[in-house]
Chain A
Amino acid sequence: MSASHATTAGSAGAHAGTQDAAQRELRHHFVDMQQQSNTASLGMWLFLVTEVMFFGGMFCAYLIYRLMYFKDFAAASQSINVSWGAANTAILLISSFTMAMAVRCAQLGKQKLLVVFLLFTMLFGAAFLGVKAKEYYDKYEEKHVPGVNFEFKGGLLGHPEYVVNQQHAQMFFSIYFAMTGMHALHMIIGLGLMAYLIIASMRGKFDTSYYTPVENIGLYWHFVDVVWIYLFPLLYLISRTKG
């Protein structure tokens, strides 16, 4: 089972033997693929820790200003379309499901199905971004983009007498764009990583002995999903009632 067996290009299943990928991909400073794979995993988890702290700074800003300017934040939040937000949440959750399925296919050596699930993940990811673009455009039309043409004309549900403070509403939108923008940037990077995985899979790079990048990029994608799981209620659902 030597590495010189040429893998029939891109075909499903590693005809040349299940140890090929691991032998081929083993780097010189590791004892074996197990060590290399465990190392790569820990590296990705630690990277996700840095991402938690990175987004965390913005969550901190959000928290402080929400407490300080609750009513204005509520009014601003009510002006963003919760249906699109909920739809996007569903889209991203489904893409997480397809990503998990993709990793499972990699574990089982199902090359073709791996590519299919990766494609679906990309599709849903792109759909998310499409919806986001629409939402951003709507905000632009309504003049809710800080620093560009900001003018908040909305009110607070159930409190017709309340005059929304322009600056505080703008604060909400600054944070909204910063957080969803940063999240979208991470999704775009995720799509790029997904494309790499698809190309690599089609070239027969992965088999049951080696699929570390699929696993770790999967972790990254799930993390981006988790960030959105929190962003949705925090940004869209501050107050949706007349209370």
Chain B
Amino acid sequence: MSENEHHIVPVKLYMLIGGTLLFFTWVTYAVSKIDLGPLNTVVALCIATFKATLVVLIFMHVKYTSEKLTKAVIISAIFFLGLLLTLSLADFGTRNWL
């Protein structure tokens, strides 16, 4: 946040990232046509996370900020969302156990 005012990302990098994002969208689509069983979901989500990471790091300049607070904020969001999903699963996922 304090640094990315000064750091100008080269156009070529933006284009490279943009191209990568489009490519992996196609990959997601193509892989979904192959039967990998439960791995389909894992692969799809991994690719999505990879794409999201590129957007956050490059397009949103997080890679270029020296501000640790930005990263702490992002990680907190992911952590607390994770809490919501995981602890809810502690109930729904174990209902059949008894």
Q: Touch between A and B in complex, CB under 8 Å?
A: yes
Binding site for B on A (CB under 8 A): 34, 37-38, 41-42, 45-46, 48-49, 52-53, 56-57, 59-60, 63-64, 67-68, 82, 86, 89-90, 93-94, 96-97, 99-101, 104, 107-108, 215, 218-219, 222-223, 225-226, 229-230, 232-234, 237-243
With both beta carbons as reference points, the residue of chain A lying nearest to B50 in the complex is identified as: A229
User: Which residues from 17 to 37 on chain B have a C-beta closer than 8 Å to any C-beta of chain A?
Assistant: 17-18, 21-22, 25-26, 28-29, 32-37
- Expressed in whole angstroms, the Cα–Cα distance for A242 and B32 within the complex equals 11
Majority DSSP secondary structure for residues of A touching B: helix
Given the known A-B contacts A93-B25, A107-B8, A230-B52, are A222 and B60 also in contact in the complex, defined by CB atoms under 8 Å? yes
Q: Chain A nearest CB: distance from B31 CB in Å?
A: 9
Min C-beta distance of B20 to chain A, whole Å: 10
Interface residues of B (CB under 8 A from A): 1-2, 4-5, 8-9, 11, 14-15, 17-18, 21-22, 25-26, 28-29, 32-37, 40-41, 44-45, 47-48, 51-52, 55-56, 58-60, 67, 69-70, 73-74, 76-78, 80-81, 84-85, 88-89, 92-93
Q: How far is the CA of A218 from the CA of B69 in the complex (A)?
A: 19
Distance in angstroms from A47 CB to nearest chain B CB is: 10
Number of A-B contacts defined by CB within 8 Å: 139
Nearest neighbor of B76 in chain A, beta-carbon distance: A49
List of B residues within 8 angstroms of A108 by Cβ: 8
A48 to chain B, nearest CB (A): 7
How long is the Cα–Cα vector from A239 to B93 in the complex, in angstroms?
A: 21
Contact A86 B29 (CB under 8 A): yes
- In the complex, how many angstroms separate the beta carbon of A52 from the nearest chain B beta carbon? 4
> Min CB distance, A238 to chain B, in Å?
8
Q: How far is the CB of A45 from chain B (nearest CB, A)?
A: 5
- B15: which A residues are within 8 A, CB to CB? 97
Q: Kindly list chain B residues whose C-beta atoms are within 8 Å of the C-beta of A42.
A: 1, 69-70, 73
Q: Are A104 and B9 touching (Cβ within 8 A)? A: yes
Whether A37 pairs with B5 at a CB distance below 8 angstroms is yes
> What A residues does B88 contact at CB under 8 A?
60, 63-64
**Which are the 8 A-B pairs with shortest beta-carbon distances?**
A233-B44, A97-B18, A243-B35, A41-B1, A241-B35, A240-B32, A52-B77, A56-B81
